[in-house]
Homo-oligomer: A and B are copies of this chain.
Amino acid sequence: MEQELDKLVGIQIQLLRLSKGWSQEYLAEKSSLHRTYISQLERGLKSPSIRVLFQITSALEVPASTLIKMVEDSLNADERGTN
């Protein structure tokens, strides 16, 4: 469940980035983070701090709570799917 959570967070960050047509490089620049870190986040290899979450969602111009809500909805969908 914990790796699952990081993966879902990564997927949502990637979806929001792609919906803007941005490269990882551009998101990295906008959020003052390294491109390799963005890449690791998107693959669920890192669990971002809330502080980093706010840096990224601010760059993506969505509220952090919206991204978290999308992750919760995915988690719930997964749980229903496997029951």
Q: Which of A48-68 contact B (CB under 8 A)?
A: 48-51, 53-54, 63-66, 68
User: What is the predominant secondary structure among interface residues of chain A facing chain B?
Assistant: helix
How many chain copies does the complex carry?
2
Number of A interface residues in the complex (CB < 8 A): 19
Q: In the bound complex, what is the Cα–Cα distance between A44 and B81 (angstroms)?
A: 37
Instruction: State how many angstroms separate the Cβ of A77 from the closest Cβ of chain B.
Output: 15
16 further interface pairs, Cβ-Cβ under 8 Å (given A47-B49, A64-B68) = A2-B51, A5-B54, A6-B50, A47-B50, A48-B49, A48-B50, A49-B50, A50-B50, A63-B68, A63-B69, A64-B72, A65-B66, A65-B68, A65-B69, A65-B72, A68-B68
Residue ranges of A at the interface with B (Cβ–Cβ < 8 Å): 2, 5-6, 9, 47-51, 53-54, 63-66, 68-69, 71-72
